[in-house]
């Protein structure tokens, strides 16, 4: 990780990896061919024709009804000699069973190519279907890291939101309903990188403000977690900082002026860059804690992460004040004349400002979670050694409970069996 040293108001960079003293050492793996631009989805037929003869289009009912012209897509695939079948049964926070069901349909239709057309849930489900078409069931066998045995069917990812980054990363998240209560679990494997990503900002023009904000805040979390993670390297850092800079300027504008294609393009671009960044670094405590909230309360992934981001950042910044100071500046905060710790704290102000501008809470309002449930979440999070070791600051069980309590608006609640209630 590079270190940043500040002197006389300017930032001098040394390309050193934090804690090692080594210079510019990193690996960067991104096997996805990326097309970006207005109308770029028209490349679909040509690219699909190079990968298969029978495509399963994976999507959800809303996208098929409201966002895309199904006939146009099918015609372009047919023209390239690709037969099409449609599976529009994806739901938000997809359970493992959805991907297994979709794969049974794909096998019946003899598909040799998967096209994921939708938001993060759809693209993740499409990844699961691609895995299930070539590997024995159940899909739960492949949860965790590097467990997929045979290469999945090739996947073309076409995001319709600007936030997931799933089109350029090797992760898929599923709700494991076999557990009580249901848990969100990750599948991480280089075999999950899509072969092609077609990122067309026109597809995001009709997104409602709440979806724009939820997805954009997820991308902001990806970037901030990547930038502050222990695996951050100069290359991923560049992607993450550019994302933060763009979203600080344009996310609120996208919420307020949804039909503006220029602003939508910036947000789609930022989401893409953040997806590339976490493909290299992974995420940290925000996502680890956010999965629990999202699965338990049924709130969106982006909203759950957004609620936690300021509290986790406030906790983490002690580990690397210069990095958080640079984050504050990238978020557009003024830090001149402030003390050492105050400058870093401005990063939290910047995050709260953006959350406010897009109408997102920084606390769980109107929801309650039992204290023993929070402790159960914390126990499980403490077992995710890989994610915790990527967090910039050492985390204890007590820290996780404390952060949840702050996000719930009740930092004093500690009694097992009672409830933490949002203010
Ligand atoms: Fe995310």
**Looking at 66-80, 106-120, 319-333, 342-356, which range is the least confident one?**
66-80
Q: What is the pLDDT of residue 67?
A: 77
Q: How confident is the model at residue 14 (pLDDT cuts 50, 70, 90)?
A: low
Lowest mean pLDDT among 100-114, 281-295, 409-423: 409-423
Domain ranges of the chain: 33-204, 208-421
Structure confidence at residue 257 (pLDDT): 97
Say how many Å lie between the CA of residue 339 and the centre of ligand 1. Answer: 33
CATH class of 208-421: mainly alpha
Residue pair 374/296 in contact (Cβ under 8 Å)? The answer is no
- Residue-level pLDDT at 365: 72
pLDDT in tens, 336-392: 999 988 999 999 999 999 999 999 987 777 777 889 999 999 999 999 998 999 999
Cα distances from 201 to residues 154, 215, 271, in angstroms, run 23, 13, 11
CA 213–ligand 1 middle distance (angstroms)? 13
Q: Which residues are CB-contacts of 409 (< 8 A; sequence separation ≥ 6)? A: 363, 364, 365, 421, 422, 423
Nearest to 177, CA basis, from 94, 254, 105, 243: 94
CA 132 to ligand 1 centroid distance, Å: 23
Cβ neighbors of 145 (< 8 A, separation 6 or more) are 188, 189, 386
One-character DSSP codes across 107-161: HHTT--EEEEEESHHHHHHHHHHHHHTTSPSPGGGG-EES---SPPPPEEEEESS
By DSSP bridging, strand 113-118 and strand 155-159 are parallel
Residue 9 pLDDT grade (very low, low, confident, very high; cuts 50, 70, 90)? very low
Please give the distance, rounded to the nearest whole angstrom, from the Cα atom of residue 301 to the centre of ligand 1.
Answer: 7
pLDDT band of residue 16 (cuts 50, 70, 90) is low
Of 225, 260, 257, the closest CA to residue 239 belongs to 225
- Asked: is 33-204 a CATH 1.10.287.110 domain? The reply is no
pLDDT over 80 (residue 21): no
Distance CA 127, CA 132 (A): 9
Cα distances (angstroms) measured from residue 358 to each of 197, 250, 351, 419: 27, 10, 11, 29
* Rounded Cα distance, 67 and 69, in Å: 7
pLDDT-wise least confident of 56-65, 299-308, 328-337, 352-361: 56-65
At which residue do the structure tokens 């992460």 appear? 305
Q: How far is the centre of ligand 1, averaged over its atoms, from the C-alpha of 302 (Å)?
A: 6
Structure tokens at 125: 């489900």
Instruction: Identify whether the C-beta of residue 215 lies closer than 8 Å to the C-beta of residue 272.
Output: no
pLDDT of residue 10: 40
Q: How close is the Cα of 32 to the center of ligand 1, in Å?
A: 19
Given a cut of 70, whether residue 242 has pLDDT beyond it is yes
In the predicted structure, residue 241 carries a pLDDT above the cut 60: yes
The model's pTM = 0.91
Distance separating alpha carbons of residues 244 and 273, to the nearest angstrom: 10
Identical fold, 33-204 and 208-421: no
Cα of 416 to ligand 1 centre, how many Å? 30
Per-residue pLDDT, 68: 79
- 54 C-alpha vs ligand 1 centroid, how far in Å? 31
- Residue 293 Cα to ligand 1 midpoint, Å, equals 13
Residue 219 C-alpha to ligand 1 middle, in angstroms? 7
CA of 161 from ligand 1 middle (Å) equals 12
Give me 240's structure tokens.
């993450």
Question: Percent of the chain having pLDDT more than 70?
Answer: 91
418 alpha carbon to ligand 1 midpoint, in Å? 30
Across the chain, what does the average pLDDT equal? 90
- Could you tell me the distance, in angstroms and rounded to a whole number, from the CA of residue 125 to the centre of ligand 1? 15
Nearest to 268 by CA among 354, 395, 175, 165: 165
Distance (angstroms) between ligand 1 centre and the Cα of 164 equals 6
The predicted structure's pLDDT at residue 179: 83
């Amino acid at each position: 990780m590079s270190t940043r040293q500040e002197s006389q108001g300017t930032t001098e960079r040394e390309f050193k990896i934090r804690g090692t003293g080594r210079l510019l050492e990193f690996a960067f793996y991104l096997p996805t061919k990326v097309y970006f631009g207005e109308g770029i989805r028209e490349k679909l037929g040509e690219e699909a024709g190079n990968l298969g003869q029978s495509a399963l289009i994976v999507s959800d009912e809303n996208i098929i009804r409201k966002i895309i012209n199904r006939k146009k897509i099918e015609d372009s695939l047919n023209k390239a000699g690709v037969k099409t079948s449609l599976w529009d049964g994806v739901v938000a926070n997809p359970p493992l069973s959805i991907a297994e069901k979709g794969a049974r349909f794909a096998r019946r239709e003899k598909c040799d190519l998967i096209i994921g057309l939708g938001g993060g849930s759809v693209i993740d489900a499409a990844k699961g279907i691609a895995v299930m078409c070539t590997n024995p069931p159940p899909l739960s066998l492949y949860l965790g890291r590097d467990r997929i045995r045979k290469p999945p069917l090739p996947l073309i990812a076409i995001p319709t939101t600007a936030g997931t980054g799933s089109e350029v990363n090797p992760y898929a998240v599923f709700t494991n309903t076999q557990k009580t209560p249901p848990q969100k679990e990750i599948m991480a494997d280089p075999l999950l990188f899509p072969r092609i990503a077609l990122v067309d900002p026109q597809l995001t023009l009709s997104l409602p403000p709440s979806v724009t904000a939820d997805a954009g805040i997820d991308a902001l979390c990806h970037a901030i977690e990547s930038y502050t993670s222990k695996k951050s390297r100069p290359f991923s850092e560049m992607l993450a900082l550019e994302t933060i800079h763009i979203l600080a300027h344009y996310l609120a504008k996208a919420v307020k002026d949804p039909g503006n294609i220029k602003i939508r393009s910036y947000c789609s671009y930022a989401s893409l860059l953040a997806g590339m960044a976490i493909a290299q670094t992974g995420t940290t405590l925000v996502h680890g804690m956010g999965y629990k909230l999202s699965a338990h309360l049924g709130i969106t992934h982006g909203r759950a992460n957004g609620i936690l981001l300021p509290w986790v950042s406030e906790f983490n910044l002690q580990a690397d004040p210069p990095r958080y100071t640079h984050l504050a500046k990238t978020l557009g905060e003024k830090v001149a004349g402030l003390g050492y710790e105050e400058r870093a704290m401005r990063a939290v102000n910047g995050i709260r400002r953006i959350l406010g501008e897009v109408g997102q809470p920084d606390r769980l309002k109107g929801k309650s979670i039992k204290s023993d449930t929070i402790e159960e979440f914390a126990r499980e999070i403490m077992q995710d050694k890989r994610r915790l070791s990527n967090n910039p600051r050492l985390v204890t069980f007590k820290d996780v409970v404390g952060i949840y309590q702050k996000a719930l608006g009740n930092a004093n609640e500690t009694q097992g069996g009672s409830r933490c209630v949002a203010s």
